[in-house]
Amino acid sequence: GKGLAVFTSGGDSQGMNAAVRSVVRMGIYLGCKVYFIREGYQGMVDGGDNIEEANWSSVSSIIHKGGTIIGSARCMDFIKREGRLKAACNLVTRGITNLVVIGGDGSLTGANLFRQEWSSLLDELLENNRITKDQREKYKYLHIAGMVGSIDNDFCGTDMTIGTDSALHRIIEAIDAIVSTAYSHQRTFIMEVMGRHCGYLAVVTALSSEADFVFIPEAPPSVDWKDKLCDNYLALVAALASEADQVFIPEDPVPNNWVEKLCKRLQQERRSGQRLNIIIVAEGAIDREGKPITAELVKKVVVENLKQDTRITVLGHVQRGGSPSAFDRILGCRMGAEAVMALMEATPETEACVVTLDGNQAVRLPLMDCVHRTKAVAKAMADKNWDLAVQLRGRS
Ligand code: F6P
C-alpha cells in the first residue's frame, strides 16, 4: 500500500485528535501504510522513533481528548534546507510520499515548500548515497493535503477551523462563571480572549454572553458595512449584534473616541439597573491608529472615568485546552477522511490542497491560494485597510 503520514504542527487545538484518528483509519481502510510523525516537523527531521507506524487501535479512545496525542512543535530546523533534506530522507526510506499536515498557515506553507523542493532534495540525497536509485524513482512525487487546526478561525477559505468551536465553549463557560461573581459585587469585568490577529473568538463570545463592549483587531468600517460584508460571517455577527443592541462595535472610524463611547455605554447599562458590565478584549485589539487596546488600558479608562470596581481576567491557554466539542470532533473526522481521499486521487500534476468547510461541505481548495489570502488579510491589517481585511476574510 501507499505510504501516508500524518502530523500536527504549530499551536495545538481541540479536535486535532479526531482529525488524526480519521486520517489513520481512512488510510488503513483504503489500504495505505499509515505513520504518525510525532512532534510536528521536528519529528520529521529527527526521524527515529518519531516516525512510527499506526494501526487501527492506536487511535482508539482519543476522539474526546484535547490537544494532540502525537505532539506538536514550532520547528526551526525545517526552515533550513539541511533540515528538509533530513526530513525527505526519513520519509523516502520509509516509503512515505503522502503527507497530511494539520496546522496553521505557517505549517501549511512549509509543507508546500517541501513539495516544491522534493525533486531537488531527492537528487541531493541520491548524490550523497543516502537513498538508492530505485528509491529516487519510486518515490519521486510527494503529495500534500492540509487541514487547519487553530482556535483562532483565522484562515481564509474555511468557515471554521478545527478547535474554534471548543474554544468558544471554554470562553463562554468562563464568562458565565465570572458573571455570577461580578453581579454580587456590582463589578466590571474585562476578559481578554485569544485569537492573535483575529477578532472572531471575541465577537462571538461577546454576542453570546451579552457583553457590553468588545474590542477586536478588525475595527469595522464606517458606513455601508452591512451591505459590503454580508458574505462575511464576522460581519454578519456584527450586524446581528447591532440589531440585538447587546454588543457595541465601534464602527465609527473617528480615531480614538472609543473611550467616550465605552463610558457612555457602561453608564447607560448601570443606569438601567444592570449590576455588572462585561467587556471582551481580543488579545490583538488595536485602535484606528494601530495602537494596542489592552485589558489594562481599558481598566484604566473605566476606573478613571467611571470609578467602577473593575477586574481583569486573562483566559489564556485555558481556551485551547479541554475536550473538543461535538462539532470539532465531527469536523476533524470529516476533514481527515477528505484529506486522505484527496491524496489517494492525486496525480503528479495535482497541487497541494487544503481541506476546508464551505457551507457545511468538506471541500478541497488549492493550499497556496488560501495561504496567500490569509497573508493578504494580515497585510491589509498592517496597512490599516480594515475594509479590505474584513472583505478578504469573508468567503469567496
Ligand atoms: O494560534 C493559536 C493561539 O492560541 C493564539 O490565539 C495565541 O495568540 C497563540 O496561539 C499563543 O501561542 P503560544 O501557545 O505559543 O503562547
pLDDT of residue 199: 87
**Phi/psi class of residue 34: alpha, beta or left (left: φ > 0; alpha: ψ in -120 to 50)?**
beta
What's the mean per-residue pLDDT of the chain? 88
**Distance from residue 56's CA to the centre of ligand 1 (Å):** 31
Cα-trace Rg, the chain: 23
* Residue 121 cell numbers, joined: 532534495
pLDDT confidence bin for 219, thresholds 50/70/90: low
Our answer on whether the CB atom of 151 is closer than 6 Å to any ligand 1 atom is yes
- Contact (Cβ atoms closer than 8 angstroms) between residue 27 and residue 34: yes
Burial readout 163-184 (b: 16 or more C-beta within 10 A, e: otherwise): bbbbbbbbbeebbeebbeebee
Q: Measured at the alpha carbon of residue 315, what is the angle toward residues 314 and 316, in degrees to the nearest 5?
A: 95
pLDDT of residue 386: 78
CA distances for 216 relative to 45, 204, 229, angstroms? 38, 11, 16
pLDDT of residue 245: 29
pLDDT of residue 236: 47
Residue whose CA is closest, atom 12 of ligand 1? 11
Is 288 marked within a binding site? no
The residue type found at 173 is E
Statement: residue 224 has pLDDT above 50: no
Determine the average pLDDT of the residues in 168-188: 96
Is 198 marked within a binding site? no
- Largest separation between any pair of C-alpha atoms in the chain: 80
Q: Measured at the alpha carbon of residue 167, what is the angle toward residues 146 and 8, in degrees to the nearest 5?
A: 30
Our answer on whether the CB atom of 197 is closer than 6 Å to any ligand 1 atom is no
Q: Helix, strand, coil proportions of the chain in percent (round to 5)? A: 50, 15, 35
pLDDT confidence bin for 254, thresholds 50/70/90: very low
Residue whose CA is closest, atom 13 of ligand 1? 11
pLDDT of residue 222: 37
Q: What is the pLDDT of residues 42-81, one digit of tens each?
A: 999 999 999 999 999 999 999 999 999 999 998 899 999 9
Determine the average pLDDT of the residues in 242-266: 56
Q: What is the pLDDT of residues 16-52, one digit of tens each?
A: 999 999 999 999 999 999 999 999 999 999 999 999 9
Is 49 marked within a binding site? no
Q: What is the pLDDT of residues 85-133, one digit of tens each?
A: 999 999 999 999 999 999 998 899 999 999 999 999 999 999 999 999 9
67-71, 259-263, 336-340, 353-357: range with lowest mean pLDDT: 259-263
Q: Could you give the residue numbers annotated as active site? A: 152
Determine the average pLDDT of the residues in 159-179: 96
pLDDT confidence bin for 395, thresholds 50/70/90: low
d(CA 36, CA 23): 10
Q: Which helix (H) or strand (E) holds 52?
A: strand 51-53
Mutation test of ligand 1: which of 12, 170, 317, 320 has the most ligand atoms closer than 8 Å to its C-beta? 320
d(CA 126, CA 173): 55
Our answer on whether the CB atom of 157 is closer than 6 Å to any ligand 1 atom is no
- Ligand 1 atom closest to the Cα of residue 284 is 8
Mutation test of ligand 1: which of 14, 76, 152 has the most ligand atoms closer than 8 Å to its C-beta? 152
**Distance from residue 195's CA to the centre of ligand 1 (Å):** 7
Our answer on whether the CB atom of 167 is closer than 6 Å to any ligand 1 atom is no
Our answer on whether the CB atom of 110 is closer than 6 Å to any ligand 1 atom is no
166-170, 228-232, 283-287, 306-310: range with lowest mean pLDDT: 228-232
5-9, 247-251, 338-342: range with lowest mean pLDDT: 247-251
d(CA 306, CA 290): 25
- Contact (Cβ atoms closer than 8 angstroms) between residue 253 and residue 219: yes
- Contact (Cβ atoms closer than 8 angstroms) between residue 214 and residue 377: no
State the CB neighbour count (10 A cutoff) for residue 189: 23
**Distance from residue 194's CA to the centre of ligand 1 (Å):** 7
Is 75 marked within a binding site? yes
- Contact (Cβ atoms closer than 8 angstroms) between residue 329 and residue 20: no
DSSP assignment string, 162-201: EEHHHHHHHHHHHHHHHHHHHHHHT-EEEEEE--TT--HH
Is 76 marked within a binding site? no
The residue type found at 26 is M
Q: What is the pLDDT of residues 282-337, one digit of tens each?
A: 898 887 777 888 999 999 999 999 999 999 999 999 999 999 999 999 999 999 99
- Contact (Cβ atoms closer than 8 angstroms) between residue 297 and residue 339: no
